[in-house]
Amino acid sequence: MMRQKLDSPVAVTRSSLPPLEEYVDMLKPLWESAWLTNMGDYHEQFKEQLKEYLMIPELELFVNGHMALELALQALDLKGEVITTPFSFASTTHAIVRNGLTPVFCDINPVDYTLDAEQLESRITERTSAIVPVHVYGNLCDVERMEQIARKYHLKVIYDAAHAFGETLDGRGVAEFGDVSMFSFHATKVFHSIEGGAVAFREKALRQRLYELKNFGITGYESVEYVGANGKMNEFQAAMGLCNLRHLKGEIAKREKLVRRYRERLSGTEGIRLCPENPRARMNYAYMPVVFDGYKKDRDEIFKELAEYNIHARKYFYPCINSYACYREQYDERETPVAAQISRQVLTLPLYADLEPEIVDMVCDIIL
């Protein structure tokens, strides 16, 4: 079958946006009040609505997900080593290192690419203070096993939940698991506030600490007790978040239809692996990862063929964090062989709410 190169590029993702008029109407009160940042009305409204949506009693907003994670780790006053996964975005490990902590990499499982709970205990030493697992592509970690191990060794669990906004497990919000969960509201996520992030938690004592850390460590008009940062979300971000939250259910429903179409077309093909669906979870359909393992063409060949048609998939995550130039002298990716292998085989396919089903079919046709 002859196919023509698309005139307009198809990106791996595209930001969902509310109707322009809706967002503009939200901005009018900001012009009237000139209160543009520093925890204004929209910031507080957004925070309360997110608590309800995520089913969590405590939450603090941040300028972005990375700052949320970095300051969450600081707020917990961790020391020594932190076990994490090399199969994630750079932010996860960078946040650990920038807190003066030592990352210890644990391999992932080959089914859903989250941190392998069965290998976790072998990485624990007397210097271990916490675990930072990642919900990958919206696939939830083995949260029950993580909790058991954390209790046994008295460790904190900080979830990087950047991919898992709004998901549930057996009806429980994903934010309920662990000591804290970080969410990213970057423009490319299922749900976004242009840039932005949040830390969700239950322990009330963390509330003031996080608030102060994101505001330079200021604790009073004439008192600065911590070396904090400027991690505040502004009112324009909060307004976008409030708008997008109204439309989120419909956006996820659109994404689900596209994922179903991908799975229908690609399932059962020898050499192509798709993540199994978790019957206990309500997913957000954040990504469409495909692993090419023994397929007639490898991942890089598929990547190039799609690009020839102006379709831009993503090698996500590649390379593994423990093979980055900034970490290469300290770590060896051969110590996490499953993560190393998956990173060379995985491709995330275009997926966003307004993607035309015909493009999904074209992507599948090219692959097959």
DSSP-derived secondary structure for 304-364: HHHHHTTB--B-TT-S-GGGSTTTTTT--GGGSHHHHHHHHHEEEPP--TT--HHHHHHHH
Going by C-alpha positions, the residue among 172, 170, 102, 103 that lies closest to residue 134 is: 103
- Which of 197, 219, 242 corresponds to the end of one domain? 242
The answer to whether residues 80 and 110 belong to one domain is: yes
One domain, residues 40 and 160: yes
Residue 14 within any structural domain of the chain? no
Q: Identify the helix (H) or strand (E) that includes residue 178.
A: none
The count of domains in the chain is 2
Answer whether residue 10 is part of any domain. no
Hey, how many other C-beta atoms are within 10 angstroms of the C-beta on 329? 7
Strand ranges inside 113-167, DSSP E: 128-132, 156-160
HSE-up (13 A, CA, CB side) for residue 309: 19
Q: Does residue 2 form part of some domain? A: no
Q: Is 180 helix (H, G, I), strand (E, B) or coil?
A: strand
Cα separations (Å) of 15 from 12, 138, 196, 251? 11, 17, 14, 11
User: Is residue 352 domain-resident?
Assistant: yes
**pLDDT < 50 stretches in the chain:** none
Closest Cα to residue 225, out of 233, 215, 235?
215
* Together in a domain, 319 and 177: no
Task: Tell me the CA distances in angstroms from 246 to 17, 140, 159, 192, 243, one per residue in order.
Answer: 11, 25, 26, 12, 6
pLDDT tens digit sequence for 198-248: 999 999 999 999 999 999 999 999 999 999 999 999 999 999 999 999 999
Whether residue 259 sits in one domain with residue 187: no
Q: Are residues 192 and 284 in the same domain?
A: no
102 DSSP assignment: E
Q: What is the pTM of this model?
A: 0.97
CATH number at residue 207: 3.40.640.10
Distance CA 346, CA 343 (A): 6
pLDDT value, residue 1: 56
Q: Tokens at residue 261, please?
A: 């179409």
Structural domain contains residue 66: yes
One domain for residues 190 and 71: yes
Q: Which residue is it, tokens 């509330």?
A: 207
Phi–psi pair at 208, nearest 5 degrees: -65, -40
Rounded to the nearest 10 degrees, how much is the dihedral formed by the CA atoms of 74, 125, 330, 337? Answer: -110
Cβ atoms of 197 and 65 within 8 Å: the answer is yes
* Confidence at residue 59, expressed as pLDDT on a 0 to 100 scale: 98
User: Which strand (E) or helix (H) includes residue 87?
Assistant: none
Residue 3 falls inside a structural domain: no
Domain region containing 225: 20-242
41 domain-assigned: yes
165 and 294, same domain (yes or no) = no
**Do 109 and 181 share a domain, yes or no?**
yes
> Which of 131, 67, 69, 126 lies closest to 104, judged by CA?
131
pLDDT of residue 267: 97
Residue type for position 109: N
Q: Is 286 exposed, middle or buried (0-12, 13-18, 19+ CB in 10 A)?
A: buried
Q: Which of 283, 288, 353 is nearest to 316 (CA)?
A: 288
Confidence (pLDDT) at 361: 98
Boundary (domain end) residue, out of 242, 276, 308 = 242
Residue 277 maps to which CATH number? 3.90.1150.10
Contact between 289 and 137 (Cβ < 8 Å):
yes
Please identify, among 226, 242, 258, the residue that sits at the C-terminal boundary of a domain: 242
With 0-12 / 13-18 / 19 or more C-beta atoms within 10 angstroms meaning exposed / middle / buried, residue 115 is buried
Report if residue 132 sits inside a domain: yes
Statement to judge: residues 38 and 119 lie in one domain = yes
Same domain, 32 and 138: yes
Please report the pLDDT score of residue 2 as a whole number.
61
Are residues 236 and 107 part of one domain?
yes
H-type alpha helices, the chain: 20-33, 41-54, 65-75, 90-97, 117-120, 143-153, 205-213, 235-266, 299-308, 337-345, 357-367
Do residue 156 and residue 113 come from a single domain? yes
Whole-number Å distance between alpha carbons of 17 and 241: 10
